[in-house]
Amino acid sequence: MEKMIDFRIIVKHLKQYFWILMLASIIGIGGTTFWLMQIAVPKYQASADIFVKPQKIENEGFRLDSNTNNRLISTYSGILKSHTTIDQVKEKLKLKEDFKTITTNLSIKNENESQIISISYQANSPEQAVKVVNTTVQIMQLEVSKLFENSTVKLLSGATVEDATIPISPNIKISLALGLFIGLVAGIIVITIMILTNNTIREDEDIEEITNIPIIGEVEKW
């Protein structure tokens, strides 16, 4: 007959090695805190909103349908991330990042099929993110006016340092929770190894745990 799990033994081991779980948790949180403060590079995001008028519109109640909207986003995203635009931004701001890095950190999105488009950029400092976004919008306005007749791009709200001061990554709460989880898992692994490799008999309960035979009496050491 298989030996049944005795929860009293599990509780006993948990109480016995509880300090290991606490220590592992503290080390996990401490290590995560050190990583957040000393190693991790925070990322900041700045955004600007623009109003896009793709053509001369007589009807003020005009609304983009989904297909037109998708083409519009695709077109302006292509202009935004083109070498023509990015190279001018790099030259004007003296950026050291390469073309691929800049385009990866640059994003454009549109919500609710409107003519308002949001342009965002992620950088290691809020000041840098703001400069790149605002400069990109300025250059994009010039390029659109050259490429499309009767098309205009108007700035609704430019990027500001005040709105970009909170880093978007790393997420402090998630990072600390992950550090705690890793610490607990590491502690449980250590406790399991200690229990499986410890064959020392110190108390009556240790004999009963190994043999499942009740203790009748004890012989004192002479």
- Tell me the per-residue pLDDT of 123-145, one tens digit each, with 9 for 90 and over: 999 999 999 999 999 998 888 88
In Å, the largest CA–CA distance within the chain is 109
Cα–Cα–Cα angle for 86, 121, 143, nearest 5°? 35
Cα–Cα distances in Å, from 8 out to 4, 13, 46, 55, 210?
12, 9, 56, 77, 14
Average pLDDT, the chain: 80
Position with higher pLDDT, 118 vs 71? 118
Model confidence pLDDT, tens digit, residues 148-172: 766 677 888 889 999 888 888 888 8
Work out the average pLDDT over 207-222: 62
Model confidence pLDDT, tens digit, residues 7-47: 666 677 778 888 888 999 999 999 999 998 888 888 999 99
